[in-house]
């Protein structure tokens, strides 16, 4: 007797990708993967979502193009926004508007530092210490691209410690422009006179001193490197 094969509707590849995109979006919007945080690795996503590697890869790529995710070489894929605001901002903040980028940074980062000093958790402090150590190691290595990325990661950690979701989303939306501004100010080499110490900023946050944290955050934006 021939056993009947169950009729199981297997969705087309494109449909599976769209479903996977929506699953990823749901986890981001639900706060499972917050803005500034790293999403699971590709093998972990395959296991969690029950789809193939190619489907996961295409879904992640689509969200990168949409400005929701960002791939950082050697570090992973991070949530940078919960909507498509990021690419819109990136198109407007061109090189000839870098002075405006600095003003936007000051508006975001001074308030973020103040809030972080009031709201930081032990986990936030551990993240700040790790990010600061990575930034210092990158500076000592002399690799400009690595320094720009680790500097951005430290500032993102400060914003994350503020525990203000809207501030984190807005800050992430201008992330690429901010890194471009830092890279432009840093130049082709890490010169000693351009070094800006961020340890006092982290210590002010650790000490729970919002006024000092705000002052430190504003001070480095006046420095030659603006990093």
At 6-30, the pLDDT tens digits run 333 334 567 889 899 999 989 988 8
Q: Does residue 1 form part of some domain? A: no
Residues 172 and 67 reside in one and the same domain: no
Same domain, 150 and 175: yes
Q: How many residues are recorded in the chain?
A: 227
Does one domain contain both 158 and 61? Answer: no
Helix (H, G, I), strand (E, B) or coil at 216: helix
pTM to 2 decimals?
0.62
Q: Per-residue pLDDT for 66 more than 90?
A: no
Based on the domain organization, do 54 and 23 belong to the same domain? Answer: yes
d(CA 123, CA 130): 11
Q: Are 49 and 161 found together in one domain? A: no
> Given this model, what pLDDT does residue 106 score?
85
Calculate the alpha carbon distances from 175 to 48, 94, 142, 161, 212 in Å. Answer: 29, 13, 22, 17, 24
The answer to whether residues 61 and 146 belong to one domain is: no
Q: Are residues 32 and 69 in the same domain?
A: yes
Whether residue 112 sits in one domain with residue 37: no
- Pair 208, 125 in one domain: yes
> How many structural domains does the chain have?
2
Q: Which of 196, 48, 202, 179 is nearest to 128 (CA)?
A: 202
Same structural domain for residues 53 and 113?
no
Q: Which of 82, 115, 137 is the last residue of a domain?
A: 82
Q: Which residues contact 75 (CB under 8 A, 6 or more apart)?
A: 38, 149, 153
- The per-residue pLDDT for 222 is 64
* pLDDT tens for each residue of 141-189: 888 888 888 998 999 999 999 999 889 878 877 776 677 777 777 777 8
Beta-ladder partners of 78: 38, 70
Q: Is the pLDDT of residue 84 over 70?
A: no
Does residue 69 fall inside a structural domain?
A: yes
pLDDT of residue 73: 80
Q: What is the CATH number of the domain that holds 61?
A: 1.10.10.10
Higher model confidence: residue 183 or residue 35?
A: 35
Taking the C-alpha atoms of residue 36 and residue 155, their distance in angstroms, rounded to an integer, is 10
Same domain, 74 and 159: no
Angstrom distances, CA of residue 58 to CA of 53, 133, 197, 213, 224: 9, 34, 40, 41, 41
Q: Is residue 176 part of a domain?
A: yes
d(C-alpha 122, C-alpha 206), whole Å: 9
140 in the same domain as 112: yes
88-145 pLDDT tens trace? 666 665 556 667 777 888 889 999 999 999 999 999 999 999 999 999 999 998 888 8
CA distance 26 to 79: 13
CATH number at residue 116: 1.20.120.530
Domain containing 176 equals 86-220
Which of the two residues, 193 and 2, has the higher pLDDT score?
193
Report DSSP letters for 109-126, one per residue. Answer: HHHHHHHHHHH--HHHHH
Q: Are the beta carbons of 86 and 176 closer than 8 angstroms?
A: yes
Q: What is residue 134's predicted lDDT score, i.e. its pLDDT? A: 94
57, 82, 107: which is the final residue of a domain?
82
**Which is higher by pLDDT, 153 or 87?**
153
Is 8 a domain residue?
A: no
When comparing pLDDT for 60 and 180, which is higher? 60
């Amino acid at each position: 007797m021939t056993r009947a094969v169950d009729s199981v509707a297997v969705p087309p590849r494109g449909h599976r990708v769209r479903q996977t995109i929506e699953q990823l979006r749901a986890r981001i919007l639900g706060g499972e993967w917050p803005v500034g945080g790293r999403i699971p690795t590709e093998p972990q996503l395959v296991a969690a979502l029950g789809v193939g590697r190619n489907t996961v890869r295409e879904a992640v790529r689509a969200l990168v193009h949409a400005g929701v995710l960002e791939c950082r070489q050697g570090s992973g894929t991070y949530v940078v926004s919960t909507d498509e605001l990021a690419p819109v901002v990136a198109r407007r903040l061109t090189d000839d508007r870098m002075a405006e980028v600095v003003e936007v940074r000051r508006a975001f980062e001074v308030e973020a530092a103040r809030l972080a000093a009031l709201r930081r958790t032990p986990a936030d402090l551990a993240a700040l210490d790790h990010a600061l150590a990575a930034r210092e190691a990158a500076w000592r290595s002399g690799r400009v691209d690595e320094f720009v990325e680790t500097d951005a990661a430290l500032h993102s950690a400060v914003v994350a410690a503020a525990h203000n979701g809207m501030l984190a989303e807005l800050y992430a939306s201008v992330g690429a422009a901010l890194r471009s501004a830092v890279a432009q100010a840093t130049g082709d080499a890490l010169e000693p006179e351009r070094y800006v110490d961020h340890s006092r900023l982290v210590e002010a946050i650790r000490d729970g001193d919002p006024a000092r944290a705000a002052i430190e955050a504003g001070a480095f934006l006046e420095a030659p490197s603006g990093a």
